[in-house]
């Protein structure tokens, strides 16, 4: 009997993934990763969204433990807090400091969940490792999940072929409603548990308050890019991203106001009004740190510049030093620091990090 070590997060997806594996005849072992010290700053205390003031990760571990006991699966626990800080959180802070919009979940998959986790799983005698990601692997190709609304290949785009060897995604062929149904049929404590959203180490905490513990907030002026008028005050450039409309909190009528640029030198946040303003539109971008999962190198394919974005038809220009230029037609809010992920139909070809954004072959001044 082949042995599978599955990452048990305390959520419904990994819970049902474990059920699927057991029903397929595998010997299943659970492994819970502690990647962040949730007691830091103690700012989860008193949060009405959290259960009885229990540290959120302890809450998740207790749920994972209850599921494994119900399914008669052994559960182990491993601490990657230091490694997560070194490889993921430091990257997150460094990107924010230079005005970019990082995606720590992609780096967590690359350095923690599909690297350190795999090494630990092998110590437990794993023939395969598994997670509750919505994705599929077939004939060595990384494919989108059947449930397009939950597909997570975007976040797996920095993985290597080596990392994806002997990896199973048991719920990649299921839709979310079926996952919930199966969890209820088995009477699991996670059946109705809310999905985690946002950045994992922030969770239910206030993003701005959380960041103040690590980066000093530097309030500055907000400028209307068209009139050059100062129209308000921002709370710190790191709190805003290109294309943002909601949560600006700078006073006045912000309903149709969009973030269109940052001036780090003078600490100015640029905004423009109107959903169709030209300041957000671009027609190409330079993508660095390209990681190709597939052997395919098409000239034409599809791309996503952010998670849940509708596929964009693009043309690819391949450069040296692991960079590409992605050409497209008037896409809004392509943002430095975010991931550009390439697809050919259902296959995820790989992805990289958006380095520069261009319009008519000129660099857009998103970041000054």
User: Which of the pair, 54 or 334, is modelled with greater confidence?
Assistant: 334
Residue 202 belongs to some domain of the structure: no
Whether 302 and 154 share a structural domain: no
Whether 269 and 292 share a structural domain: no
Ranges 101-115, 217-231, 237-251: which has the least confidence: 237-251
Confidence class of residue 201 from pLDDT cuts 50, 70 and 90?
A: low
C-alpha torsion sign, points 90, 92, 97, 98: positive
- CATH number of the domain at 166, please: 3.40.50.620
Whether 306 and 172 share a structural domain: no
Whether 46 and 177 share a structural domain: yes
Whether 262 and 302 share a structural domain: no
Q: What is the dihedral of CA 62, 196, 80, 163, to 10 degrees?
A: 120
Whether 30 and 76 share a structural domain: yes
Write out the two tokens for 29: 């072992």
- CATH number of the domain at 337, please: 2.40.30.10
204, 239, 273 — which closes off a domain?
273
Whether 130 and 247 share a structural domain: no
**DSSP structural state of residue 367:** B
How crowded is the C-beta side of 105, counted as CA atoms within 13 Å? 18
Residue 86 belongs to some domain of the structure: yes
Whether 43 and 68 share a structural domain: yes
Q: How far is CA 310 from the centre of its chain?
A: 16
How many angstroms separate the CA atoms of 366 and 368, rounded? 7
Confidence class of residue 132 from pLDDT cuts 50, 70 and 90?
A: very high
Helix-then-strand count for the chain, H and E: 8, 18
Confidence class of residue 195 from pLDDT cuts 50, 70 and 90?
A: confident
Confidence class of residue 254 from pLDDT cuts 50, 70 and 90?
A: low
Residue 203 belongs to some domain of the structure: no
List C-alpha distances in Å: 30 to 13, 33, 118, 227: 13, 10, 13, 58
Residue 67 belongs to some domain of the structure: yes
Q: What is the pLDDT of residues 297-339, one digit of tens each?
A: 999 999 999 999 999 999 999 998 899 999 999 999 999 999 9
Residue 198 belongs to some domain of the structure: no
Tell me what the mean pLDDT of segment 236-259 comes to.
Answer: 83
Please say if the pLDDT value at position 110 is more than 80. Answer: yes
Q: What is the pLDDT of residues 170-194, one digit of tens each?
A: 999 999 999 999 999 999 999 999 8
Domain that holds residue 339: 280-363
Catalytic site residues?
108, 200
Ranges 55-59, 60-64, 92-96, 238-242: which has the least confidence: 55-59
Whether 156 and 12 share a structural domain: yes
Whether 106 and 149 share a structural domain: yes
> According to the model, what pLDDT value does residue 111 have?
96
Residue 99 belongs to some domain of the structure: yes
CA end-to-end span of the chain? 58
Average pLDDT, the chain: 90
Tell me what the mean pLDDT of segment 250-255 comes to.
Answer: 66
Confidence class of residue 217 from pLDDT cuts 50, 70 and 90?
A: confident
> According to the model, what pLDDT value does residue 159 have?
97
Please say if the pLDDT value at position 205 is more than 80. Answer: no
How many angstroms separate the CA atoms of 90 and 99, rounded? 15
Q: Do residues 132 and 19 lie in contact, with contact meaning Cβ atoms separated by under 8 Å?
A: no
> According to the model, what pLDDT value does residue 256 have?
83
Q: What is the pLDDT of residues 5-53, one digit of tens each?
A: 999 999 999 999 999 999 999 999 999 999 887 666 554 444 444 444 4
- 3-class secondary-structure state, position 139: coil
How many angstroms separate the CA atoms of 20 and 235, rounded? 47
Write out the two tokens for 73: 């699966």
> What percent of the chain clears pLDDT 90, i.e. is strictly above it?
77
Domain count across the chain = 3
- CATH number of the domain at 226, please: 2.30.30.280
239, 273, 307 — which closes off a domain?
273
Residue 205 belongs to some domain of the structure: no
Tell me what the mean pLDDT of segment 220-232 comes to.
Answer: 93
How many angstroms separate the CA atoms of 25 and 15, rounded? 16
User: Which of the pair, 94 or 45, is modelled with greater confidence?
Assistant: 94
273, 293, 309 — which closes off a domain?
273
Tell me what the mean pLDDT of segment 339-354 comes to.
Answer: 98
pTM of the shown model: 0.92
Whether 18 and 76 share a structural domain: yes
Whether 342 and 225 share a structural domain: no
């Amino acid at each position: 009997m082949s042995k599978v070590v599955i990452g048990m997060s305390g959520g419904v997806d990994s819970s049902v993934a474990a059920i699927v594996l057991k029903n397929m005849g595998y010997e299943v072992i659970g492994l819970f990763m502690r990647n962040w010290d949730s007691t830091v700053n103690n700012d989860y205390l008193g949060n009405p969204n959290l259960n009885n003031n229990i540290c959120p990760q302890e809450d998740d571990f207790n749920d994972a433990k209850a599921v494994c006991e119900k399914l008669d699966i052994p559960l182990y626990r491993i601490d990657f807090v230091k490694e997560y800080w070194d490889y993921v959180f430091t990257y997150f802070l460094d990107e924010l400091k230079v005005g970019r919009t990082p995606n720590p979940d992609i780096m967590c998959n690359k350095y923690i969940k599909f690297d350190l986790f795999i090494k630990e799983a092998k110590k437990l005698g794993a023939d395969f490792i598994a997670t509750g990601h919505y994705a599929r692997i077939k004939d060595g190709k990384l494919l989108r999940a059947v449930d397009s609304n939950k597909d997570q290949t975007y976040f797996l785009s920095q993985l290597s072929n080596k990392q994806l060897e002997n990896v199973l995604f048991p719920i990649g062929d299921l839709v979310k409603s079926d996952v919930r149904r199966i969890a209820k049929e088995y009477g699991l404590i996670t059946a109705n548990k809310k999905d985690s959203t946002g950045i994992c180490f922030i969770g239910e905490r206030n993003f701005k308050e959380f960041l103040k513990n690590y980066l000093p907030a530097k309030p500055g002026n907000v400028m209307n890019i068209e009139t050059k008028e100062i129209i308000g005050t921002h709370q710190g450039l790191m709190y805003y991203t290109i294309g943002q409309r909601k949560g600006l909190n700078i006073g006045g009528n912000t309903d149709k106001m969009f973030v269109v640029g940052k001036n780090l030198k003078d600490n100015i946040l640029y905004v423009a009004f109107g959903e169709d303003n030209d300041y957000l539109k671009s027609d190409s971008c330079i993508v660095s740190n390209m990681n190709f999962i597939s052997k395919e190198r098409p000239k034409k394919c599809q791309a996503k510049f952010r998670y849940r974005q509708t596929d964009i038809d693009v043309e690819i220009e391949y450069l040296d030093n692991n960079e590409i230029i992605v050409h497209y037609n008037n896409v809004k809010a392509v943002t430095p620091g975010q991931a550009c992920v390439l697809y050919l139909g259902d296959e995820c070809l790989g992805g990289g990090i958006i380095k520069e954004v261009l319009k008519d072959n000129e660099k857009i001044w998103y970041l000054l």
